[in-house]
Amino acid sequence: MKLITKALIFVSSIYLVSPALAGETASPADARVYFVNLLDGDQVTAPISVIFGLSGMGVAPAGTEKANTGHHHLLVDRPALGQGEDGADELEYGLPSDEQHIHFGGGQTEVTIDLSSGQHSLQLVLGDYAHTPHNRPVVSEVIHITVD
Ligand SMILES: [Cu+2]
């Protein structure tokens, strides 16, 4: 009995001291988000069509709490999700909404964006009903495109 109690205390303490690495909504191990029509290094002309691909999960509008779903976010010209100044916060508390973090809370799976001439980075991130990345986060690779 004592051994079980000790084991429980030990397990509890792991949870207490572990920093949160992501939100609380689980994602399937095989879930994947990707750019359908853009590759790293592409040269494009504005306005730019961006099509979001998702496999292993479904799209649901923001606010819809349903297992194995989420909505798309496009990260523009910033470090990869979880990197940079607010990296830990965005994984735990969710993504801000601004020019660098575009939400598709309506469940959209594509967008046409206008970007200035020059090089830009893009990354897709799936967010749960509350705009928080899943645990494990479902993210695309960061791609760099050059706009004419
Ligand atoms: Cu969102």
At 13 the pLDDT is 44
Q: Tell me if 1 is assigned to some domain.
A: no
**Ligand 1: distance of its center to the CA of 136 in Å?**
17
Tally of domains within the chain: 1
Tens-place pLDDT, residues 87-139: 999 999 999 999 999 999 999 999 999 999 999 999 999 999 999 999 999 99
**Ligand 1: distance of its center to the CA of 132 in Å?**
7
- The structure tokens listed for 135 are 């645990």
User: Could you tell me the residue range of the domain that residue 137 belongs to?
Assistant: 20-147
Q: Tell me if 29 is assigned to some domain.
A: yes
CATH at 55: 2.60.40.10
At 6 the pLDDT is 53
84: left (phi over 0), alpha (psi -120 to 50) or beta: left
**Ligand 1: distance of its center to the CA of 4 in Å?**
42
Which letter does DSSP use for residue 78 in this model? S
Q: Tell me if 13 is assigned to some domain.
A: no
Tens-place pLDDT, residues 14-46: 444 444 456 899 999 999 999 999 999 999 999
**Ligand 1: distance of its center to the CA of 82 in Å?**
16
Hey, how many other C-beta atoms are within 10 angstroms of the C-beta on 27?
24
pLDDT over 90, % of the chain = 84
Q: Tell me if 10 is assigned to some domain.
A: no
Q: Tell me if 88 is assigned to some domain.
A: yes
